[in-house]
A and B are shown apart, each in its own frame.
Chain A
Amino acid sequence: MARLQLTLNGRPVKTEAEPATLLVDLLRGTLGLTGTHVGCDTAQCGACTVLLDGRATRSCSTLALQAAGRQVTTIEGLAQGGQLSPLQDAFVACHGLQCGFCTPGMIMTASCLLAENKAPSDEEVAQALEGNLCRCTGYVNIVAAVQKAARTMRGEA
């Protein structure tokens, strides 16, 4: 077991992990944050997406020890004081989720997009979310939710 320090959702965390432990398993197991999900074995589905130093990253393909000294943001880190973030609220308002399993990954990827591009086109949203699969919604409401959040974050209604 190796000791490990990282910043998780804005707070410093001291924990430990085996060299082979995946970041997703550290989050879901040791740290008890089960909002990040595992949907595949081939790093294709995106359900495990978290932010690593602000970049959307597949936690199923990242070793826990690779997060040492870095900032990790998970879905649990978005709401502030019980208030949903604009993206979270938009997904609810636009019916951008059904079973909810892909949703944390979708929201994390979208948050990375909107941090880099405040006014994406629908095509840019779709392209940014290419690595996040959904089997329930057909994606239309997901794109609508991201656009609604983008408008909110630009201060436009």
Chain B
Amino acid sequence: MEALRFGSGQAVRRVEDPALVQGQGRFTDDVAPAGQLVARFVRSTQAHGRLLSVDVAAARQLPGVVAVYTGADLEAAGVKPFVLPPAFPRPDGKPMAGPARPVLAVGDVRFVGEPIALVVAESKEAARAAADAVTAEYASRPAVVDVRAAYAPGAPLILPDLGDNISAEMRHGDAAATDAAFATAAHVVKLDLVNQRLHPNPMEPRSLLAWVAEDGRLTMRASSQMPTALRDGVAGMVPGLSPEKVRVLVGDVGGGFGMKTGLYAEDVAVAYAAVQTKRPVKWQAERLDDFLAGHGRDVKSWPNWRSAQWQGAGPARARWPAWAPIRRW
């Protein structure tokens, strides 16, 4: 059978396959320029608390260590924090809540795995030894890890000044008419719908190689689904950069499934390290880095349907509250 345009109706071999089945792919970690430094993150061991101190003095002294950065270092250097774009309002009409989040934690930590320091060293072994030598002190606070529990009164507050844990709320339809309909309903059906927490877990963990190229641009080779967000984010947050001064290359990507969209704190920190050290810096996440700090998702809904007697019952009405954790922390 002749293949129609675009190969419809016929098996068509992919052009990228011969290289991939021969191990000739170009995944980000497959490229290792001369002089490459290895980046490794130190992460919060606390789900919620105050980061009292991060001690990197011992780590800095270890052989092969080129630099160790803390949140305070990045702040002092002018690395900007993440700012939440106010896309939706809160229940009281005020803008979506989410204060600035520093690239490396300063003050508060809000999840196990939140980066608190970055080691840059000559080898994987030196980076690991230095990361192990970083110590931190925390004042733990109670944590809330279920979205429904986070909504309940009295839940530990992520942002104490806010008074609750609601980032934003959207409502649609006519609440009064719906409530009235439920009051006279012959039947009400309730459901708990749980789209459970999942982790995208692509086979290739996150990875980034950043270096200042000969043309002066901060260039990044990334395993990314969204290179423009990476370019614009890094350009906006690392001092001295602008979008024209940043270039992102994406080679082979070992799966993403949403985890490699957007911009991560690690991306900004590694880019900063490349600018500072003037050497290529490679960050290859391990599986644990992705489980702890690579994005996942879940949604819980509690729909109620109202129905009435068959004759002259009026329109079916439904009430469908749903909660989803906002991907801020």
Asked if A135 contacts B203 (CB within 8 A), the reply is yes
Q: Which of B92-147 contact A (CB under 8 A)?
A: 124-125
Asked if B124 contacts A25 (CB within 8 A), the reply is yes
- 28 A-B pairs with C-beta separation under 8 A: A35-B22, A35-B24, A35-B25, A38-B29, A39-B254, A45-B287, A75-B22, A76-B22, A76-B23, A79-B22, A88-B18, A88-B22, A89-B21, A92-B13, A92-B14, A95-B14, A97-B21, A98-B255, A99-B254, A99-B255, A100-B16, A101-B202, A101-B252, A101-B254, A104-B21, A107-B21, A135-B255, A135-B257
CB distance from A142 to the nearest CB of B (A): 12
Question: In the docked arrangement, what's the CA distance between A18 and B255, Å?
Answer: 32
Residue B32 is within 8 A (CB to CB) of chain A in the complex: yes
**How many residues from B make CB contacts under 8 Å with A?**
32
Residue B298 is within 8 A (CB to CB) of chain A in the complex: no
Asked if A101 contacts B255 (CB within 8 A), the reply is yes
Q: Which of B293-313 contact A (CB under 8 A)?
A: none
1/0 per residue A40-84: CB within 8 Å of B?
111001010000000000000000000000000011101100001
Asked if A135 contacts B286 (CB within 8 A), the reply is no
CB distance from B225 to the nearest CB of A (A): 11
Question: In the docked arrangement, what's the CA distance between A79 and B18, Å?
Answer: 10
Contacts from A to B (Cβ < 8 Å): 18, 20, 25, 28-29, 33-42, 45, 47, 74-76, 78-79, 84, 88-89, 91-93, 95, 97-104, 107, 133-136
Asked if B287 contacts A41 (CB within 8 A), the reply is yes
Instruction: Specify the chain B residue showing the minimal Cβ separation from A25.
Output: B124
Question: In the docked arrangement, what's the CA distance between A25 and B11, Å?
Answer: 37
1/0 per residue B1-43: CB within 8 Å of A?
0000000000101101110111111010110100000000000
CB distance from A80 to the nearest CB of B (A): 11
Residue B228 is within 8 A (CB to CB) of chain A in the complex: no
* A39: B residues at CB distance < 8 A: 203-205, 254, 287
* From A18, A88, A92, A101, contact of B203 by CB (8 A): A101
Question: In the docked arrangement, what's the CA distance between A64 and B11, Å?
Answer: 41
Question: In the docked arrangement, what's the CA distance between A97 and B19, Å?
Answer: 12
Asked if A34 contacts B14 (CB within 8 A), the reply is no
* B288: A residues at CB distance < 8 A: 41
* A101: B residues at CB distance < 8 A: 25, 27, 202-204, 252, 254-255
* B30: A residues at CB distance < 8 A: 28, 34
* From B202, B254, B287, contact of A42 by CB (8 A): B287
Instruction: Specify the chain B residue showing the minimal Cβ separation from A22.
Output: B124
Question: In the docked arrangement, what's the CA distance between A78 and B20, Å?
Answer: 13
Beyond A38-B29, A100-B252, 19 additional pairs, beta carbon < 8 A:
A18-B125, A20-B125, A29-B32, A35-B23, A74-B23, A84-B21, A89-B21, A91-B21, A92-B21, A93-B11, A95-B11, A97-B21, A99-B204, A99-B253, A99-B255, A100-B25, A101-B25, A135-B202, A136-B203
